[in-house]
Homo-oligomer: A and B are copies of this chain.
């Protein structure tokens, strides 16, 4: 008979993940100390270790939870009625509408994590899994478009989907260094334009 409910624990876990994400996004993984996180959350240092086994564990779990939500949200926007092209366009536009500040913070987190994971095999696998899900989602959209004749039959949907994400990630990376909201929006419109010319010929 546990003292605390499962729900309470789950809430606590999520709060720590959120607080840690805030710190990691702000200062970077290596520069963030457990003390930073603990201070930010107003909890004790020990508490963290009741929920996570290490700093790296927190890192990985943040990413995992974010990725799951990302794929969910991808699906969520999926209106039944719309054409494939419309869906894809909507996806780009939802991205375009994101506040640059959120983007910057989150993106730098994602980028750093990818880098980090690329040097740690265990993490690499989970990244790959999630990335594949994201690619598959877009690839499926494109495949639909091909079937409905909206997109050229010659495009390789997996390749195109990979390029979709590469473009998005590259733009985000760019914006990280320079550029504000307007420049980001402009690049995203450029991406939309380029992408549809490619898909539609």
Give the contacts of A131-183 with B (CB-CB under 8 A). Answer: 131, 156, 159-160, 162-163, 165-171, 173-174, 176-178
Indicate whether A187 sits within 8 Å of B169 (C-beta atoms), given known contacts A177-B114, A177-B117, A198-B194.
no
A27 on the B face (CB < 8 A): yes
Interface of A is mostly: helix
- Cβ contacts under 8 Å, A116 to chain B: 28
Q: Chain A interface residue count: which class?
A: 35 or more
Q: A159-B187, A163-B187, A194-B194 are in contact. List 8 more A-B contacts (CB 8 A).
A: A2-B46, A112-B115, A115-B115, A162-B187, A165-B170, A166-B173, A193-B198, A194-B197
Q: B-contacting residues of A (Cβ < 8 Å)? A: 2, 27-31, 44, 46, 108, 111-112, 114-119, 124, 127-128, 131, 156, 159-160, 162-163, 165-171, 173-174, 176-178, 186-187, 190-191, 193-195, 197-198, 201
